[in-house]
Structure 1
Amino acid sequence: MTYLRLAELESAARDLLPRHIWDFLAGGSGTEASLVANRTALERIFVVPQMLRDVTDSSTEAEVLGRHAALPLAVAPIAYQRLFHPEGELAAARAARDAGVPYTICTMSSVRLEEIAAVGGRPWFQLYWLRDQKRSLELVRRAEDSGCEAIVFTVDVPWMGRRLRDMRNGFALPEWVTAANFEASAAAHHRTRGVSAVADHTAREFAPANWDSVAAVCARTNLPVVLKGILAVEDARRAVETGVSGVVVSNHGGRQLDGAVPGIEVLGEIAAAVADGCHVLLDGGIRSGTDILKAVALGASAVLIGRPLMWGLATAGEDGARQVLELLAAELQDALGLAGCESVHAAGRLSMRRDRYG
């Protein structure tokens, strides 16, 4: 089936997935205020297009973390992708490889990171800070040895936020889905009414990261280190001082602090504050090529896409994930040309307007 909007894939995935798995993917924390705000904030931004430019050959190509990509986009880390399709991360990674964009392997992947990296393309590795620091740094080594090109260190999860949908569902992983990068643990599979088994498992495994943790990761690897979950200008500045290569402006898709500001609202401030000090990427609520255009115009060098790729994966496996990326590429090329931009870089000259029509 051909889909013309990501919302159509979202609807198809919702119909196909069991309710508790859909809620695990779609839900946010608390009242889900930040989850909703991510979309609302993007929808309240309007582009001021520029006319009479030569846009005959508008190109979506971009540099992402200093390397060429077909789009200013990377696939965000999503845990346990075999929940959505039997091939899970392998199918999603192949789709990203074929689309010419980086794929971020999650610490909590349901396929071992070495197998995912072997798919090829441009794998990145996302790191959670674990109670056992040696295990964290061992994951960094494994990622480096497997050919990953960057370490995306998620810093906004000292523990999982209160995801009420999962708690109401007593969400637990089915037996065939495990955290493949770890020794098997029964905690994530033990269903208890009113408790998220996944949150219980991560509470046992995770520890709050700090700036010493960041320094330890930077010292352990020669790969670029990107901090994911930055919303405060002060944190972005300190990240540059610590020597990281980039930051992902993100409220974790509305899944951590409920009420945290949408990333798009602080993107411009952060991009201006760090200037050329590091790469700035945006995560959260991106659902179209026009959203990507807005993010680039406000200072992002690229965006991360998470849930939409899982909609495609759930709907049609690798082909569905590939269709998500093809649709975003077509929408971005259309948006660039209609906005008067001959390239992704040219989007930086566009002006934005907020709230006048929201």
Structure 2
Amino acid sequence: MRPVCVGDYEALAREKMEASHWEYFQGGSGEEQTLRANRAAFERVFFRPRVLVDVARCDMSTQLLGTPVSLPVGIAPMAYHCLAHPEGEVATARAAGAVGALTVVSTFSSRKLEDVAQGAQGPLWLQVYCFRRREVTEALIRRAEAAGYKALVLTVDTPRLGRRERDVRNGFSLPAHVRAENFGEELVAALHARQPGASAVATHARETIDPSLTWESLAWLRSITRLPLVLKGVMTGEDAARAASLGIEGLIVSNHGGRQLDGVLPALDALPEVVRAVAGRCEVLMDGGVRRGTDVLKALALGARAVLVGRPVLWGLAAAGPEGVGHVLSLLRDELELAMALAGRPSLDQIDSSLVHAP
């Protein structure tokens, strides 16, 4: 039977994926407290629906940094989609565009960013890390601009990689047929060097990612691009206010899917503090634990302009290729539309904190 909810794709994907690749996608850091908490946070928020409202039509369309999208759900940046399907990020972006959704493409995409852009039907943002060799980052940004990407998403929660114990136990490394295609072999060779009891991803990050990135580094980024800048991994009001004061166009409230600092707040719990701190000065998105259209509605009620979805997209890709990705997004869209109708909020501008009871 065809999956009837996003969760149905999880078991289907696990059956199709090699065990260590599955654990790479599914795992978190440390004891995975935050990984579990991301999901549990949604279960603590309840709705306060309004009745006798005309909900014959519900409008889910919005804009993200000025770009129209059909729904407030996009695809979070995740590396190495080719571990799930041979077409990788090309298939993912094509499926997202077909339903009018945003795709945020990872720096460590397993398809070249130009190939993803060529196959995409919808808007693309590029997620970037700041490399020790700044010229590597700058070259990547120049290519994104030329390929038509609409914004840059700087991940700011990864000065060092979190200890992902599943990957350590599995001695995870990339198979020969999956590469970080945006870079030459000399920069990414370590990703393929398997060592028992070690993660090749962690080794590579330690060698290449700049741990000295600071707020002052943002001026350098601004100097080399005119694209809007979004910071991913902001979890406090203090950092959110500072970003807004610097003119940052967007923030993504995110704990990296529970893969960085274990024990950090669930993203949904951190969201209201960030929204209050920016006070409308920049757009706020969130990711982490979204599995249902009702989850999307809760995040919107707590102030998010949109949510990004991670692992479920890869489940759909592994289980059924681009059709699976499209179906995952369609399920979330249809569930959100129904939830809006039942909550008495037929448009996104009618969704606010009065819709939810949160502890």
TM > 0.5 = yes
Corresponding residue number in structure 2 for 1:117 = 117
**Matched residue, 1:18:** 18
Whole-angstrom distance in 2 between the partners of 1:105 and 1:354: 32
Counterpart in the other structure of 1:193: 196
Matched, 1:212 2:216: yes
Q: Check conservation: 1:218, 1:243, Cα contact below 8 A.
A: no
**Which segments of structure 1 move beyond 6 Å, counting only runs of 4 or more?**
none
Rounded to whole Å, the distance in 2 between the matches of 1:242 and 1:132 is: 25
1:29-85 deviations in whole A, cap 9, x for unaligned? 000000000001111111111111111101221222232111112211000110000
Mapped contact 2:73–2:309 kept (Cα < 8 A): yes
What code does the residue aligned with 1:9 have? Y
Q: Which runs of 5+ in 1 are unaligned?
A: none
Task: For 1:80-91, list aligned pairs within 5 A.
Answer: 80-91=80-91
Task: Give the letter for the 1:130 counterpart.
Answer: F
Write out aligned runs for 1:52-67 (5 A): 52-67=52-67
Equivalent pair of 2:235/2:253 in contact (CA under 8 Å): yes
Q: Secondary structure at the match of 1:230?
A: coil
Quote the residue 1:300 is aligned against.
Answer: 304
2:283 pairs with 279, 282, 288, which one? 279
Structure 1 residues 259-294: Cα deviation after superposition (integer angstroms, max 9, x where no partner): 011111121111111112000001111111000000
The 8 Å contact of residues 62 and 345 in structure 1, kept in 2 or not, is answered as: no
Q: Does 1:42 align with 2:50?
A: no
**How many percent of aligned residue pairs carry the same amino acid?**
47
Q: Does 1:5 align with 2:8?
A: no
Q: In the alignment, which residue of structure 2 is the partner of 1:28?
A: 28
Q: Aligned-pair distance for 1:349?
A: 5.4
Q: For residue 346 of structure 1, what is the aligned residue in structure 2?
A: 350
Please state whether the residue corresponding to 1:282 is helix, strand or coil: strand
Please say if 1:138 is aligned against 2:110: no
**Residue identity matched to 1:149:** K
Amino acid in the other structure paired with 1:224 = P
8 Å CA contact 2:236–2:273 kept in 1: the answer is no
Structure 2 CA distance for aligned equivalents of residues 186 and 66 of structure 1:
38
How many residues in Structure 1 have an aligned counterpart in Structure 2?
Answer: 355
Structure 1 Cα separation of the partners of residues 309 and 37 of structure 2: 17
Describe the superposition over 1:312-358 as per-residue Cα deviations: whole angstroms up to 9, x where unpaired. Answer: 00001111111001101100000000000111221125332235xxx
Partner of 1:180: 181
Contact 1:215-1:242 at 8 Å conserved across structures? no
Equivalent residue, structure 1, for 2:129: 128
Equivalent-residue separation in structure 1 for 2:117 and 2:95 (angstroms): 13
Corresponding residue for residue 324 of structure 1: 328
Whole-Å separation in 1 of the counterparts to 2:112 and 2:350: 39
State the AA in 2 paired with 1:307: R
| Counterpart residue type for residue 71 of structure 1 | L
Match of 2:154 in 1: 153
Instruction: Tell me whether 251-260 or 213-222 shows the greater mean CA deviation.
Output: 213-222
Indicate whether 1:257 and 2:261 are aligned.
Answer: yes
Greater shift, 222-231 or 57-66, is seen at: 57-66
Q: What RMSD over aligned residues (CA atoms) do the two structures have, in Å?
A: 1.1
- Aligned position for 1:268: 272
- Specify the SS of the correspondent of 1:6: coil
Contact 1:149 1:224 in 2 (8 A): yes
Cα offsets for 1:176-235 (capped at 9, x unmatched): 111111111321111111100111112111112211222221222111110000001110
8 Å CA contact retained: 2:67, 2:123 = no
Cα distance between partner residues in 2 of 1:40 and 1:123: 30
- Whether 2:166 is the aligned partner of 1:162: answer no
- TM-score, with length taken from structure 2: 0.97
TM-superposed CA distance for 1:174, in Å, is: 0.2
Match of 1:78 in 2: 78
User: In structure 1, what residue type is equivalent to 2:126?
Assistant: F
Q: Within 1, Cα distance between the matches of 2:147 and 2:131?
A: 20
Q: TM-score, normalised by structure 1?
A: 0.97
List alignment gaps of at least 5 residues for structure 2. none
SS in 2 for 1:211: coil
SS at match of 1:259: coil
Q: Deviations over 1:154-180 (max 9, x none)?
A: 111112100000000000100011111
Q: Which moved more, 1:31-40 or 1:267-276?
A: 267-276
